[in-house]
Structure 1
């Protein structure tokens, strides 16, 4: 008895078999098995996705709010860029693509919008947090090159997704934790957060800063009873006396302002 064998060709492979000028990235994003094909290491698909212009197009779905408010593409892209796909992550870590991803923090400032879109911010945060865990050294080194890093993040302290990233740099960076803490100390991040807390009128920003500082202090307290005291020591150092002294001064100044109204 003879059995007839049929080779099943996936819809992704059918797209890849077509001439490149007859298919678009959107065609692939519309396929339900796109992520699964990446998980099975479909090399032809990965070859397609890690092309420079395709990677830029993927990131564009994350940095620009869709006109029709349909976030399907952004959601799929966030799964691709945060998934356990080594070739995709290595491509993403190239400066050109990190610059484009980082531009998410700058887009709203350029467009004079008051806050980032919360859905896109959550996808952006998901990707950055994944890189912090898997490629902490590369990511920290990149962010160090951003001269306005602190200001760029401080512009979005009203977004919980963005403030979470600042915490994850310390909590999830593994062996690079000490390096991340030292960097925070060098750029006076903690002092800057307290200063922002004193001047902001946004309840959302105030809440996020207080929660972030609370997480830093909790982490320092936990580490105080562990083996590594870097967090305890450096958080104490970064909370400079000048900043702490200005707290009661600003509180008094605010009270006087209220009383004069």
Structure 2
């Protein structure tokens, strides 16, 4: 089992960032292999990303428009990677999100009236909410019922969500 020997294994660029003493979320998001490392359940990476501060920053990339003078990474790459991290369906990251009302408020602040968003961010927001509807149904629906009922009304405008809402509220079978 030579592949378990550290001398013979190649270290990923993500591991190199994690090995640094003072690294940032942005350094990780800039690494090409971050999504693969998330899907491979890299424990060091996931332990970093599950931290409340990191989840909050990932959400900000999805729900807040970047400044007009922002670099392309901030405008396009970081929101895309943030969305992909959430949709990797890593339970501890999603759990951090749904268990913090403040983070859920931040996510759903995207729906505030008179708040323009790019089509990119709208798509990323939708993907994250659908992921939560599938993987964290009960906490999401509890949040919507208690804190943000107008969000449910907004989603009811889209027929694709009917089966999920019925399933959540009535225990009905989902049929597509």
TM-score (norm 1): 0.55
- 4+ residue stretches of structure 1 with deviation over 4 A? none
Distance in 2, matches of 1:32 and 1:172, equals 34
The SS at the match of 2:139 is helix
Partner of 2:104: 98
Give how far 1:134 is off: 1.8
**Is 1:7 aligned to 2:14, yes or no?**
no
Give how far 1:128 is off: 0.5
The SS at the match of 1:28 is helix
Q: 2:94 aligns with which of 76, 79, 89?
A: 89
Shift of the 39–123 alpha-carbon distance from structure 1 to 2, 3 Å rule, reads same
Partner of 2:27: 27
Partner of 2:129: 128
Distance in 2, matches of 1:41 and 1:169, equals 29
The SS at the match of 1:145 is helix
Distance in 2, matches of 1:104 and 1:171, equals 23
Distance in 1, matches of 2:9 and 2:119, equals 44
Distance in 1, matches of 2:152 and 2:144, equals 12
**Is 1:48 aligned to 2:48, yes or no?**
yes
Structure with larger Rg = 1
Distance in 2, matches of 1:152 and 1:140, equals 12
Q: How many residues are paired up?
A: 164
Give how far 1:28 is off: 0.4
RMSD, aligned CA: 2.9
Shift of the 34–152 alpha-carbon distance from structure 1 to 2, 3 Å rule, reads same
Distance in 2, matches of 1:177 and 1:147, equals 16
What stretches of structure 2 of length at least 5 have no aligned partner? Answer: none
